[in-house]
């Protein structure tokens, strides 16, 4: 008896599971989690921030003194420039504003990660140079978009997905005139790098070298 056809037929049910396994692995990947978190922030801001006041930029690549850096979201408004760093994490989040690293505790396992305030500081320094604008015009905002709980005493600009636009809307002192806003929008559109495969590959390469 030729057992090869029998063996191959026995494997057919398993073939149905392979795409499912690949899909599960993809959904759990850092790439998808990061992308999905940014999309959630994008949807939330589109629903709650007036478009005639807050001019939005998403997934922005710009040059900085280390090469290039990627900024999740930028909102240019008369109240200043809001620079958003998104983290799609789960678990308990611990840290202090000046710590180099924070910690996420997932089911008892602790994982350190870069302080997102420090990460966003680099983004703002790059924007200061790109837009030729002083630091006073920028607002750093960190958004935790996943199923996590902030366990430390964090400053007000460390937010959940549910309330980050409340924080943005709470800042009500105008500091930019309309002409300046239009200039900054034009300049950012001019200076931002193309989100093509070459630049993204270079950015990922740089991240691996520095972390």
Any idea where the domains of the chain sit in the sequence?
49-210
Q: What is the pLDDT along the chain (211 residues), one digit of tens a residue?
A: 556 666 556 656 666 666 665 555 544 655 555 566 788 999 999 999 999 999 999 999 999 887 889 999 999 999 999 999 999 999 999 999 999 999 999 999 999 999 999 999 999 999 999 999 999 999 999 999 989 999 999 999 999 999 999 999 999 999 999 999 999 999 999 999 987 666 566 655 555 555 5
Residues, the chain: 211
Q: In what order do the strands lie in the sheet with 109-114?
A: 109-114, 101-106, 91-94, 148-150
- Report the pLDDT value the prediction gives residue 78, as an integer from 0 to 100: 98
CA 31, 118, 44, 33: dihedral to nearest 10 degrees?
A: 20
Q: How many CA atoms lie within 13 A of 30 on its CB side?
A: 3
The whole-number pLDDT of residue 24 equals 56
What is the per-residue pLDDT for 130? 96
pLDDT of residue 26: 45
The confidence score (pLDDT) of residue 194 equals 83
Can you list the positions of beta strands (E) in 9-66? 55-64
Q: What is the DSSP letter of 99?
A: -
């Amino acid at each position: 008896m030729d057992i090869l056809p029998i063996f191959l037929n026995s494997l057919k049910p398993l073939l149905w599971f392979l795409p499912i396994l690949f899909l599960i692995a993809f959904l759990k990947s850092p790439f998808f989690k990061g992308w999905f978190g940014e999309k959630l922030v994008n949807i939330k801001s589109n629903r709650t921030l007036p478009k005639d006041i807050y001019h939005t930029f998403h997934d922005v690549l710009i040059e900085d003194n280390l090469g290039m850096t990627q900024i999740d979201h930028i909102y240019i408004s008369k109240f200043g420039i809001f620079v958003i760093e998104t983290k799609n994490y789960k678990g308990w989040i611990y840290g202090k504003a000046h710590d180099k690293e924070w910690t996420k505790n997932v089911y008892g396992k602790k994982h350190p990660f870069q302080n997102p305030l420090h990460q966003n500081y680099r983004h703002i320094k790059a924007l200061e140079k790109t837009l030729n604008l002083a630091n006073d015009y920028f607002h750093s905002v960190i958004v935790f978009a996943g199923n996590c709980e902030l366990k430390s005493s964090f400053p007000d600009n460390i937010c959940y997905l549910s309330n980050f636009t409340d924080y943005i809307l709470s800042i009500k002192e105008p500091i930019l005139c309309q002409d300046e806003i239009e200039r900054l929008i034009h300049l950012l559109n001019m200076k931002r790098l193309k989100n093509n495969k070459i630049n993204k590959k270079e950015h990922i390469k740089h991240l691996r070298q520095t972390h």
